Structure 1
């Protein structure tokens, strides 16, 4: 197998191996240290966010679990996320097939939302959760139900999370954050979660709170984290510093009739996974090749569209990015890593997340049951059709 060449100051986290190639994250060590006090646990958390299934961290392929409480990482080291139950690339479900058989759940134009949804956010969030500025809404959308049904919910009750305008599927952020959530330069880390405790995250950036808001009294944290270096406007105004925690309207947290649910852990972790794939993903083409050749030749994928998200994927098809990187010249996950056939669309981070979303054990079982129900329905229909010559 060709060796993964890890540049200085980075580590690699291998998420899936197929033949002689690997899909992995190439992560700056200084970025890990700025986001988590337990670097190994952070790698384990990333693997869970991207693949959507529990697993262990190892130093060799399929190897034993390593101690994630230790804080050291080997520069240029290669780590492996070993998923429980595994992903079976040879039988991988094509995300584009799912796209044309799953109805879009959002009809509003980008930057709009239903009045009731907006009102719920303003009642709970008061303003931007991470600053004293006015808040713009950020909402999830398109594959909402597929995500909720396929991702492990752990301790979160998502049985009633069935409406895209649910207050758990959005939050308010200031105008600067509004512009960087969509390109996934900044994310929200909810702790405690199944991997990380609140103490594993650096202490919150101190800010003065207005009399109307407070941090959750149960000690949970919704921490704003930059996966790229903040822009000049953010640095100069200090309106969205790294590791700043969300504060909510006082009457909506704790107990009482005015309490409102907070942003969904499941959706936030999904979006965290998509963001790290975009910024640090390598060899995405390994995944796309796993879905060939079952894609129908007449498959038509819907038009490209973008909407603001909390934790769900919205962009279906993005035009190929230039090799120069993003709008600020920073390298992206696509830079120099895809070798697509002429005329075939590139996969972006949303395609990667959808690939794993529909290939988890839970999703496979759901699709198996759907196929079984469809077969039984067809058999019943055949039994009801009159036999013999017409």
Structure 2
């Protein structure tokens, strides 16, 4: 029996149940209707973004799939049911899945080097959603630059390519598929997950499922993608009144790229991940359900060597980088198990944020568990070969 109480004007999308407790998204119906013309399909899309696997939409857990062309019931409860169960007792090594610091301010403009910005200039040319010239546009990473390419690749390896996107060569956090040009205001709102980019068509939504794009005059050198693909900027919260009144960054505004460019567009996989994180950030409820089942991944984060002079306390802060939330660094290297859970900060139980939730689910997909099995098998074989080569007897 569900214990979820949904406020008027909202729906609940249940993603995980443990006993009578649930981890779910509580979403305003009006917000859903402003972002998608097929609200049930939108719930299906959000579920796939957070869990990282395909599923169906049902009104009762383990019940039949409902038609996704219908509307939503006020205070209704919907369930995202995955075809393959997510194993909560298994996860990849947290040392390779989590390496993040938080500062609460947007990343510095230009972070990522000249090659990253140069590639974006060749593909985007202007702010994709406002047309502001290059001097007012900043290179923005979809997944934060300071996390590095190893963490970046872990996300990709543990995420099924539901859109059949080729991500084999997506190895560098400074790949332009992990970024776009936008003005400083959009940069700030994107870093805070106030806005997100919806790429259509995708594995669930078509371009016609999204409201018509906001009309704007395009510069002579840019145009919408000729294949009809849409990269739609959407407000997941109510935009500030002045922004709405002046149409500074309107809702459902599509990206316009430089004409006749062959540079690859932003990655659908990364945009879906970011969209799911934004949904958890604003609408997530019952995250304690996850915390009780398994600890969030907290690998150590490399800290810069202390410079002469400052105290230990000051030196310990030199490794902090710009991010999306409060400052913190993880610790612990133990492999997670069903009994012990994942390693946590030594000072006590850590809080979970939207990154922890996303990484937790994506690390427990069938693809991620198979990757862990293969890694363990390779490590075992490597150890056996090493033992065979070691001379026996006393030293």
TM-score, structure 1 normalization: 0.83
Alignment check: 8 A CA contact 1:316 1:350 kept:
no
Query: In the TM superposition, what is the alpha-carbon distance from 1:251 to its structure 2 partner?
Result: 2.1
Match for residue 202 of structure 1?
211
**SS across alignment from 2:187:** helix
Instruction: Describe the superposition over 1:156-183 as per-residue Cα deviations: whole angstroms up to 9, x where unpaired.
Output: 1111111111111100111210111111
Residue 93 (str. 1) matches residue 91 (str. 2): yes
Alignment check: 8 A CA contact 1:95 1:354 kept:
no
Match for residue 191 of structure 1?
200
CA distance change for structure 1 residues 29 and 119 in 2, over 3 Å: closer, same or farther? same
Residue correspondence of structure 1 range 167-182 to structure 2 within 5 A:
167-182=176-191
CA distance change for structure 1 residues 202 and 318 in 2, over 3 Å: closer, same or farther? farther
CA distance in 1 between partners of 2:25 and 2:269 (Å): 21
Residue 55 (str. 1) matches residue 55 (str. 2): yes
Query: In the TM superposition, what is the alpha-carbon distance from 1:237 to its structure 2 partner?
Result: 3.3
1:228 to 234, 237, 244: 237
Match for residue 263 of structure 2?
260
Match for residue 37 of structure 2?
37
CA distance in 2 between partners of 1:219 and 1:358 (Å): 33
Instruction: Describe the superposition over 1:215-261 as per-residue Cα deviations: whole angstroms up to 9, x where unpaired.
Output: 01111100000000112442243221000000001121xxxxxx111
TM-score, structure 2 normalization: 0.82
CA distance change for structure 1 residues 316 and 87 in 2, over 3 Å: closer, same or farther? farther
Specify every segment of 5 or more residues in structure 2 that has no aligned partner in the other structure, as ranges: 102-106, 304-318, 330-344
CA distance change for structure 1 residues 380 and 342 in 2, over 3 Å: closer, same or farther? closer
Match for residue 326 of structure 1?
none
Total equivalences in the alignment: 349
Alignment check: 8 A CA contact 1:110 1:306 kept:
no
Specify every segment of 5 or more residues in structure 1 that has no aligned partner in the other structure, as ranges: 253-258, 309-313, 320-339
CA distance change for structure 1 residues 74 and 284 in 2, over 3 Å: closer, same or farther? same
Alignment check: 8 A CA contact 1:176 1:234 kept:
no
CA distance in 1 between partners of 2:92 and 2:285 (Å): 19
Alignment check: 8 A CA contact 2:122 2:258 kept:
yes
Match for residue 332 of structure 1?
none
**SS across alignment from 1:378:** helix
Query: In the TM superposition, what is the alpha-carbon distance from 1:110 to its structure 2 partner?
Result: 3.7
CA distance in 2 between partners of 1:198 and 1:268 (Å): 15
RMSD: 2.6
CA distance in 1 between partners of 2:77 and 2:11 (Å): 6
CA distance change for structure 1 residues 241 and 62 in 2, over 3 Å: closer, same or farther? same
**SS across alignment from 1:85:** coil
Match for residue 104 of structure 2?
none
Alignment check: 8 A CA contact 2:92 2:372 kept:
no
Residue correspondence of structure 1 range 44-123 to structure 2 within 5 A:
44-70=44-70, 72-89=71-88, 91-93=89-91, 96-99=94-97, 110-111=108-109, 112-123=111-122
